[in-house]
């Protein structure tokens, strides 16, 4: 009887052991599948966050390039004849603000000296005359010099004349005139 009882216990132990082994294999498979699934989701999240970071970086880059382009555009006359006309109007306004009479003698395009022919930048050449009192003419010349544009001064000719007093024919006010020849960088595109 002891032998039958021992055989039953051994058989029951083997069945329990096999059951535990099967459950262990099933549990390990489920656990490994969950781990693989979690790793895939983590990889997807990493890829998604990298893409989002790239999008944000690109967005920041675009915004900063727009700001940089606006800064860049301040140094050049913009592309198109309308921007050239706006720049001429700003020169005339600058002359009016400095109380000098002005006239435009010549406006023309010329190639960039060092670069030769450029597809991006050219120069607009201006010949501009102003007339007025010395402080006003000098203020206008300083204003031209301080424009936030890329300017090359080719030539400035200053001449002095006089205005006669109507009472005793003496020279009272000296009238100065300045003939400016300068070039301003202009974008073609």
Q: What is the 3-state secondary structure (H, E, C) of the chain?
A: CHHHHHHHHHHHHHHHHHHHHHHHHHHHHHHHHHHHHHHHHHHHHHHHHHHHHHHHHHHHHHHHHHHHHHHHHHCCECCCHHHHHHHHHHHHHHHHHCCCEEEEEEEEEECECCCECCCCEEEEEEEEEEEECHHHHHHHHHHHHCCCCCEEEEEEEEEEEEEECCCCCCEEEEEEEEEEEEEEEEECC
The CATH architecture one would assign to domain 81-187 is: 2-Layer Sandwich (3.30)
pLDDT band of 1, cuts 50, 70, 90: low
pLDDT above 60 (res 170)? no
pLDDT band of 146, cuts 50, 70, 90: confident
- The distance from CA 144 to its chain's CA centroid, rounded to whole angstroms, is 25
Residues 88-117: pLDDT tens digits?
898 999 999 999 999 888 888 776 555 555
> For position 82, what pLDDT does the model report?
82
Q: Give the residue, 22 or 154, on which the prediction is more confident.
A: 22
User: What pTM was estimated for this model as a whole?
Assistant: 0.58
């Amino acid at each position: 009887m002891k032998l039958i009882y021992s055989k039953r216990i051994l058989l029951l132990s083997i069945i329990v052991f096999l059951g535990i082994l099967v459950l262990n294999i099933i549990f390990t498979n489920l656990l490994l599948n969950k781990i693989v699934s979690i790793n895939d989701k983590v990889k997807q999240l990493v890829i998604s966050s990298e893409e989002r970071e790239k999008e944000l970086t690109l967005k920041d880059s675009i915004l900063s390039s727009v700001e940089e382009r606006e800064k860049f555009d301040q140094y050049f006359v913009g592309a198109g004849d309308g921007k050239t006309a706006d720049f001429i109007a700003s020169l005339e306004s600058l002359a009016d603000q400095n109380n000098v009479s002005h006239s435009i003698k010549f406006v023309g395009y010329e190639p960039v000296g060092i670069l030769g022919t450029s597809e991006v930048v050219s120069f607009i050449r201006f010949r501009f005359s102003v007339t007025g009192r010395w402080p006003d003419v000098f203020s206008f010349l300083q204003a031209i010099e301080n424009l936030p544009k890329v300017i090359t001064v080719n030539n400035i000719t200053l001449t002095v004349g006089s205005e006669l007093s109507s009472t005793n024919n003496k020279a009272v006010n000296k009238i100065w005139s300045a003939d400016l020849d300068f070039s301003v960088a202009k974008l073609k595109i």
